[in-house]
Structure 1
């Protein structure tokens, strides 16, 4: 999904980042495997065990070389298997033993990579700056918590009687309404919700596809697809995009990818 950030002129797309994969990395990997295939198998084994030891230490300085170390282990294991097969050429069970070694070796390699992907990497400085959850639980004072109580929106009908509507809003046939003297909002349903203080107006987009928020102070309208008005707090709209997610303040939603500012 394209990420849209509103600008004064046009829309800027943020996801046009190309992944560059250079062929020299694969050439070096193949050369590494061929080098190990020509060396004695026990030297290859010592080299691979050294690479495994580097990955198990989880030093922060080696984290940026994690992909390179993984590729070296994968291709190095292939070279080790070739070297082991060359050393066992005089035995009848050489192919069987080589296949068994390949099964065991690649299985251990998969387990190592899975363990690395699921184990959090934390340096000593980060661990000292960020205490564990047990320390936070036993601490005498925790972070301050603010309880926000939202005021449910009150929807008023625009195509009927104007009881309860104190702002200058007029419904126009065809799914549009006029606010003030020169502001017109199209493709909306004939319903209106006014924020406490009457600084914001909310109008649902047709077919439940989103909501339009109108800032009366700045005379600007925001069309947010995929969001629904959940409530008001301190004169600000709080929006929800699904029942499984908590509502978000408008100031947070304005920086997300489904905003279309008119």
Structure 2
């Protein structure tokens, strides 16, 4: 609430009288009164008491009076006035710092806390992404080997070697195989139900995943695997126990 001009004039006149009073008192007594006002400003401002502003104003107006009493006690010469001016510089800097800290703490403590409904509806964690897997199109290498870039050579009743046109050879694998939709990955069954093998054709790297079954490909042509047919699919890096690759 704003005060009227008459009230503002009366308050300034009162504070001016306070400064004159400190100028007439001994400087050490004025310093003690200013220290008491500092303690009052801290306590009242932290409790949001209206006297907090009164104490801070008393510090600002009373400091010149105390410094005038100090220079008078020092003899009133040039050195005394220099000490008083230096005290004014230091004193008002400390008053400004004190006021800044007190008001910042009051604003921080008075900040409204969010409602429980807002916190309940706030998003938690990274944004969700819907994964739609493309089913694996398995082929039988013995019955159908239509790719000219791939050749399957039987070495036993249920296993053989895959030979690619670029020179890569994958050994001891079953005839059941598949390619990813974009052709980067090649998958084949390991004999005796030991899981699937994944071959990254772009990097020439193969992963023999014991106990994991290929269950589909995601939108960026990456394989997803599960422990069994009804298991929860996970990306390849989780099946390998590695961190997610960075983009």
Is TM more than 0.5 here? no
- TM-score with structure 1 setting the length: 0.42
Larger radius of gyration: 2
Say which structure, 1 or 2, has more relative contact order (CA 8 Å, 6+ apart). 1
The answer to which structure has the higher helix fraction is: 2
